[in-house]
Copies of this chain bind each other. A is one copy, B any other.
Amino acid sequence: MTLDEISSTAVRLMEASGVEGLSMRKLAAELNVNPMSLYHHVESKDALLALICATAAERMHMPPDDGAPWQEQLMALALAYHRHAKEHPAIWGYLHTHPRLIADRRLPIWQTLYRILRLAGVPDPELRRTSDILHAFVSGFILAETQGHMSDDPEEIGRTFDAAIQLIIGGLASATS
């Protein structure tokens, strides 16, 4: 039994029945192993969830720099992030309620966001603050969506997401002009 097997089985359980559907005991049963054996590969349940989130954040595919205006690139990044979160709702739901787990600035998401914000004219000393704000905003949106606070109609949610990003773009433009 490897760490990879453990974490991919845990991901399967989460995708099947949410974070609350993942327990160390169920995970062990799924792997035909004693619950305590897991603790030889992972320090705790929290550590396992942190590992799963870190892996998901690392693997997230980022849109490349296509030379388009920053407004378009920011919209593309937001849409990619949103799509990714919707494809793995359990993991990203957990991650957005534990924002520490995505704090590592070397992650592709932050590198890409920094590049686009520089393009938008955000000065270097403001990059950290501005990227924190934008990520908090998008996190809050996705959390509201996954918790069913938004409309039930996916098209209306799409329009609302668009409007949200347009609002951010307008705000950034007015701050840097």
Contact = CB atoms under 8 A, between A and B. Distances in A.
A175 B166 contact: yes
A136 B115 CA distance: 25
A149 B175 contact: no
A99 interface: yes
Copies in the complex: 2
Contacts of A175: 166-167, 170
Contact of A97 (B97, B129, B148, B150): B97
Interface stretch (A3-11, A32-40, A78-86, A138-146): A138-146
Q: Identify whether the interface residues of A are mostly helix, strand, loop, or mixed.
A: helix
Across the A-B interface, the 10 shortest Cβ-Cβ residue pairs: A140-B140, A170-B174, A171-B171, A99-B149, A167-B171, A170-B171, A136-B140, A137-B137, A136-B144, A136-B141
Contacts of A159: 129
Interface residues of A, number: 38
Looking at A98, A168, A171, A174, which has the most chain B CB atoms within 10 Å of its CB?
A: A171
Interface in A106-145: 129-130, 132-133, 135-141, 143-144
A77 interface: no
